[in-house]
Amino acid sequence: MNWVNGTIPQEFILLGFSDRPWLEFPLLIVFFISYIVTIFGNLTIILVSRLDSKLHTPMYFFLANLSFLDLCYITSTAPQTLVNLCSTRKVMSYGGCVAQLFMFPALGATECVLLAVMSFDRFVAVCRPLHYSVIMCQRLCFQLAAASWVTGFSNSVWLSTLTLQLPLCGPYMVDHFLCEVPALLKLSCVDTTANEAELFFVSVLVRLIPLTLILISYAFIVQAVFRIQSAEGRQKAFGTCGSHLIVLSLFYGTAVSMYFHPPSPNSKDREKMVSLFYGIIAPMMNPFIYSLRNKEVKEAFKRLAAIVFLIKE
């Protein structure tokens, strides 16, 4: 990161919601509960999908990847935010800010691609059921998961490098509760119109391409479902996609609100609240959406619980 007085800034002040001090204690409770529940919920999904042999399928392989990604997502933001909400001096070190600047968009872009991969898996399961095990072989699953992570982190390398090259003017006060690219652009001493345009372009590209693939997949899925004669068969087909559709709605709904809303006097507060939901609440909700609506996951919970009970006996 460039600087104007010849020295690297030692720390950044994260203003967060300091202009509304009455919000800080409720947010502290929300962040703390969300962090604990997210860790427990996503670790449970990962363990269940690995320990139960009946869940050794592509769908649960990708679900375990999503759970691990959500663990990384909330861990990149929640601990520092909890510390700042508990203290009067709300600061983040230079290294911590750079790490968060890199990790947050990397994980967000990875989730975009991973959700598209999961929709492709559902497309093959519904539209090509007889060839599912051949198409979604272990090698392809690993390649698709790796492609999701590589794409997400490559996108972040570009965005964070462009941002870190900008000269910054003190005082280094970030009007956010995390170090995010749009917030840091506002500290620059130079015109950031080109950077903002690049951020918008990359955001559209990283989100629009996966979203287009998702919509195409579900168009074929809906078409295939309506060709099923029995109501039970249609219900089963929709049931395999229901949880994924809810997660998609939460993720893309907040992403679109974050990056594509028109400017307004309240846009700063809206960005903070959307980021809060996007980086804290959504990762907590994902394991509940998949476990509470998924019969196979609930049965796997029961089997493992029974095994643990027998061991204790």
Q: What is the mean pLDDT of residues 236-246?
A: 70
pLDDT tens for each residue of 130-144: 888 899 999 999 999
**β partners of residue 14:** 174
Report CA-CA distances (Å) from 68 to 12, 63, 64, 102.
Answer: 29, 9, 6, 17
pTM, entire model: 0.84
**Confidence (pLDDT) at 280:** 77
For the CA atoms of the chain, what is the radius of gyration? 21
Provide the residue range defining the domain that includes 296.
2-312
User: Cα–Cα distance between 64 and 44 in angstroms, integer?
Assistant: 10
Token reading at 241: 């996609």
Which residues is 3 bridged to in the sheet?
A: 168
CATH number for position 90 = 1.20.1070.10
168 or 292: which leads in pLDDT? 168
State residue 69's pLDDT score.
92
Residue 258 has pLDDT above 60, yes or no: no
Helices (H), 128-180: 132-135, 138-164
What average pLDDT does this structure show over 234-263? 67
* 3-class SS letters over 192-223: CHHHHHHHHHHHHHHHHHHHHHHHHHHHHHHH
Q: List the Cα angle 33/273/107 in 5-degree steps.
A: 75
Domain count within the chain: 1
Q: How confident is the model at residue 4 (pLDDT cuts 50, 70, 90)?
A: very low
- Convert the pLDDT of each residue in 85-136 to its tens digit: 787 777 888 888 888 888 888 888 898 899 899 999 989 988 888 888 899 9
